[in-house]
Amino acid sequence: MKRSAALTPLSREHHHALSLAIQAGKAARSDDAAQWRQAADKISQQAAHSLQAHFAEEERTLLPALAQAGHGQLVERTLEQHAHLRRLLQHAELASPAILQAFADTMTAHVRFEERELFAVAESLPAVMAALQAHSA
């Protein structure tokens, strides 16, 4: 799906997040504890490197614009999902099959929600798109 220029960077980051979710799910389905640790390490590195920044960018720019446009329920849903993902990323047992699978499932559902619902609504609202473009300028 073609995204507006203002949302393209966030949408590209979703591709990387989905790739990470696939790797986490694959590791979770293995019987290899070393693979669990490797996946958890990669998730932790990506969280520190890009996932946390991605969440912060959405929370700083996109979500306030959507809230101002009257889409508070979408904003709350997004914030709840971000909080849940942050809890999973900080979980002491991240290198366990259960938490890796929970991360994989939650991240996949979150990206689908943002791409299919949140971004679609944002792109339909000129005021939201103008706010995003003003932040990126």
Tokens of 21: 């979710």
| pLDDT of the residue at 136 | 76
pLDDT above 70 coverage of the chain, percent: 99
Rounded CA separation 133/10 (Å): 13
Report pLDDT digits (tens) over 5-15.
999 999 999 99
Q: Does position 79 have pLDDT exceeding 80, yes or no?
A: yes
> Is residue 21 situated within a structural domain?
yes
> Is residue 2 situated within a structural domain?
no
Please, what is the end-to-end C-alpha distance for the chain in angstroms? 24
Structural domain tally of the chain?
1
> Is residue 3 situated within a structural domain?
no
Report pLDDT digits (tens) over 14-65.
999 999 999 999 999 999 999 999 999 999 999 988 999 999 999 999 999 9
> Is residue 56 situated within a structural domain?
yes
Number of C-beta neighbours around residue 71 at 10 A: 19
pLDDT level of residue 1 (50, 70, 90 thresholds): low
16: containing domain? 8-136
Give DSSP secondary structure letters for 15-75: HHHHHHHHHHHHHHTSS-HHHHHHHHHHHHHHIIIIIHHHHHHIIIIIHHHHHHTT-HHHH
> Is residue 43 situated within a structural domain?
yes
Q: What is the pTM of this model?
A: 0.94
> Is residue 130 situated within a structural domain?
yes
